[in-house]
Structure 1
């Protein structure tokens, strides 16, 4: 007998009957709200070109590090999944064969958030009810391949079907934003904005840093041989992102939360050392810290919201990084100090209401000890939602439990999906809305929150907090 997916209407709600009923009533009011997706990594070319997605494997497997990291952990080589190599070494190109490997190993995702997201996409987006197995692999592949050729599965149609109000992509400071420009000229009403990601030109340990800085100067028309010219080039690019791609935020993927507040003279001298090409690890870390403070200074003027994503040992697997490059599922959480590391930036700008800094973390131990007290005090700080590894049912619950007592709800920014996997976006937001409604229902059941306040908070968490914090 063919096994079926079962997306129970009460999934993720509390088990206690009275609390579950409250959660149902809260969720009913927010389930169909528009999606605000203020931070993520979908490709702007999808929406600009509006071409059909190629095939199921390219859609579900290749771009999703949650998927291929699990498969790799069980000994499945990335070459066999069609993951491109840096040197162009041959990898599997038979997309059906790749899909069969995925299907044969779909059981590995049991109990993970990926199972929830994938099951939602298969059933709700493509209307497939039978479970993905080795036996059903080809039927899946054919069904999805055929669907992707229909107009209703084009990227813009899916954007509208998913009820997305706005989605943010993330581009390097060196990106020419041609796809965003094409979008703005297309007349399509969907809203796709960019986030300014300057890592390639502010991190001295980023590959080809000196060449990147030279390119920054070229495209910004600024002499980057001096620190003042370099800062002017960054300001120019930030404004370009605002003008061309409607950017409202910046995004900083630093390894730590360290910030600095050097004098102008010391910062200029440090800049000369890091662009010389012989930078020490200590100078590189100090420069990254100084640049976070410089970015905060720019944000006070131009209004871009800062996002800081520290706490990841990125590309931990050196062999995978050398062969396939960045973002292949080997980012590992590590302990992160926010209290001391953020103090130089907060001493200078933490009390300025013109600045919004959204902090993310992979270090859950910092929630109640550091992040909630900081965000519960400094006007410039807000807390981003549980980040990857923790953007899961239990992760979101732990986040709410540890953060809310000290920071409240209004010093957080709702939810963002932070994904490259476009078809998982409705599922990810649905999971967050269900978990948040369950959390609010428990507060109501314990007589810690009035039901009318809970309804208002459910709307804030699902929709308004993200829209407000990111100035969308």
Structure 2
């Protein structure tokens, strides 16, 4: 069997002098606590603190980074444990794990392989690369490990040195799991909700009226009117802030944000409910809602994260069978400078307003995001995200952003994951790449070694805390 032993100098530069300095920079930050201001691990995982069910349900099925690549070579999603048409999969976890082992080399050169190798070795103590020959033995080893008290979610939270973990939550969520964590004296970690209102911005979607009713019930506000919807969203934002939230998150196809007059927005709202709304009116409503969410952030101070430029649910048959977040969201061409003009005109210099911009179109980093962050006090350059959270893309991000925005007008690393056990591997990847970039600046005499060590520490802790107002 091939040994599983991640190289201690992985992702460091080939040049010996740069590599030596990168190694020392990384050593200075490798064990610092993790600040994770944007993620998708449910708070209930920590509130319930139940043992993870099996290796595949933890490591494979919920991670669309993994399932999409296996699907790309012909593995049906149902064979990977995903529920189809709302019916839970009957494929045994052991079978799902065997599928991963059979396709292990598929992930060579990808960040998924880097995360898995780090995770398997450093979290679970595996010493062999997965393969068809050892699949069952590794599955048994992982199953036994997950059954131990040291691998319950809260124990791992402490072991991973997570200082702050943000979740992503619907405005209609009751935040009950967050309340349980906050009131539990045995849990000393910090888990904060994040307000994500995308589902209420798209009146063309079939279940929009159902979503409005759920929000109305939670907020105790009539959302059958446009004014009522805005009131309900404000009420829930206040409830989220009271539960510890410091940020919102918004994912839209584009960053257009032209505000509508209230009477026109109200008319479209009514048309959506009676079925007479046009497609153009749906776009206008969505762009108006993006402006209104920014307006709310300018009022209440919740940091606004914006993730435009993704074609969601590109393959309709897969969406209808398996639902969203199943690997077929795809990048679109991005733009910020012109589309965001209304928001930045009205709130760009407001000291209460803060806007973190993310993209999957890396051409916008140097062309639009960095220049915007280099002028507007409110704008911050979000870390490479989703298709770009790779070692090469993170390095390109630093090279593209730093000239115009420096280091402090950035977000810190964003792991954006549902795969709880991969969090330390993802953050370590970012710390290694940043250490390499800083080493190159020192060796080319652009920053001093002292400054490089100071920046490395700030990128891990001070920057994400300050950007997301985490204290």
Normalising by structure 1, what TM-score?
Answer: 0.97
Q: Please report how far the alpha carbon of residue 207 of structure 1 lies from its aligned counterpart in structure 2 after TM superposition.
A: 4.3
Question: SS state of the match for residue 346, structure 1?
Answer: helix
Deviations 1:208-259 (A, max 9, x none): 1112112212221212233222211111111111223x11111111111111
Q: Over the residues paired in the alignment, what is the CA RMSD in angstroms?
A: 1.3
The equivalent residue for 1:14 is 13
Moved more, 259-268 or 137-146: 259-268
Confirm or deny: 8 A CA contact 1:254 1:310 kept in the other structure.
Answer: yes
Confirm or deny: 8 A CA contact 1:35 1:164 kept in the other structure.
Answer: yes
Confirm or deny: 8 A CA contact 1:254 1:309 kept in the other structure.
Answer: yes
The equivalent residue for 1:175 is 173
The equivalent residue for 1:77 is 76
Deviations 1:28-78 (A, max 9, x none): 111111000110100211100000000001011110001110100000111
The equivalent residue for 1:126 is 124
The equivalent residue for 2:423 is 425
Map 1:152-163 onto structure 2 (within 5 A).
152-163=150-161
Moved more, 202-211 or 95-104: 202-211
**Matches of 2:124 and 2:224 in 1, distance apart?**
54
Question: SS state of the match for residue 409, structure 1?
Answer: coil
**Matches of 2:274 and 2:374 in 1, distance apart?**
41
- The answer to whether the aligner puts 1:100 opposite 2:98 as a matched pair is yes
Q: Please report how far the alpha carbon of residue 6 of structure 1 lies from its aligned counterpart in structure 2 after TM superposition.
A: 2.5
- The answer to whether the aligner puts 1:324 opposite 2:336 as a matched pair is no
**Matches of 2:276 and 2:165 in 1, distance apart?**
39
The equivalent residue for 1:28 is 27
Confirm or deny: 8 A CA contact 1:260 1:286 kept in the other structure.
Answer: yes
The equivalent residue for 2:464 is 466
Pick from 445, 452, 460 the counterpart of residue 454 of structure 1.
452
**Matches of 2:175 and 2:276 in 1, distance apart?**
31
Q: Please report how far the alpha carbon of residue 87 of structure 1 lies from its aligned counterpart in structure 2 after TM superposition.
A: 4.0
The equivalent residue for 2:311 is 313
**Matches of 2:172 and 2:153 in 1, distance apart?**
25
Map 1:107-118 onto structure 2 (within 5 A).
107-118=105-116
Deviations 1:376-408 (A, max 9, x none): 111111111001111010010111111111111
Number of paired residues?
469
Confirm or deny: 8 A CA contact 1:210 1:277 kept in the other structure.
Answer: no
What residue ranges of structure 1 are gaps of 5+ in the alignment?
none
Moved more, 20-29 or 303-312: 20-29
Q: Please report how far the alpha carbon of residue 416 of structure 1 lies from its aligned counterpart in structure 2 after TM superposition.
A: 1.2
When residues 428 and 129 of structure 1 are mapped into structure 2, their CA distance, relative to the original with a 3 A threshold, is: same
Pick from 350, 354, 357 the counterpart of residue 348 of structure 2.
350
Question: SS state of the match for residue 172, structure 1?
Answer: coil
The equivalent residue for 2:62 is 63
The equivalent residue for 2:193 is 194
- The answer to whether the aligner puts 1:373 opposite 2:371 as a matched pair is yes
**Matches of 1:379 and 1:206 in 2, distance apart?**
35
Q: Please report how far the alpha carbon of residue 160 of structure 1 lies from its aligned counterpart in structure 2 after TM superposition.
A: 0.2
**Matches of 2:92 and 2:284 in 1, distance apart?**
47
The equivalent residue for 1:233 is 232
Map 1:262-341 onto structure 2 (within 5 A).
262-341=260-339
**Matches of 1:453 and 1:332 in 2, distance apart?**
38
Confirm or deny: 8 A CA contact 1:13 1:434 kept in the other structure.
Answer: yes
When residues 147 and 278 of structure 1 are mapped into structure 2, their CA distance, relative to the original with a 3 A threshold, is: farther
